[in-house]
């Protein structure tokens, strides 16, 4: 699967996750969706400045990172 295809599939999974977990902030939902979708990618970003779990304002940079630099499968 190409990185753009995987990115699109992740975005759909993140939307479904967000709908199913409305109590979570946006950054939490994106990170948790990534953890379910690609555990290794979530571990790669965990605790870095691009980790959106605690800081919603980094969500745009997080999404750019995923599109541009998604770790290999």
pLDDT in tens, 26-68: 999 999 999 999 999 999 999 999 999 999 999 999 999 998 8
Q: Which pTM was predicted?
A: 0.90
Class of residue 3 by CB neighbours under 10 A (exposed 0-12, middle 13-18, buried 19+)? middle
On the question of pLDDT at 8 being above 80, the answer is yes
Please give the pLDDT value at position 30. 98
On the question of pLDDT at 73 being above 90, the answer is no
- 17-33: average pLDDT: 98
Q: How far apart are CA 25 and CA 44, in angstroms?
A: 21
List the Cα angle 39/19/68 in 5-degree steps: 45
């Amino acid at each position: 699967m190409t990185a753009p295809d995987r990115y699109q599939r992740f975005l759909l999974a993140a939307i479904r996750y967000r709908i199913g977990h409305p109590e979570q902030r946006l950054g939490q939902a994106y990170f948790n969706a990534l953890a379910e979708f690609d555990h290794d990618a979530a571990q790669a970003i965990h605790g870095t400045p691009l980790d959106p779990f605690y800081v919603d304002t980094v969500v745009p940079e997080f999404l750019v990172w995923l599109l541009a630099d998604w770790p290999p499968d």
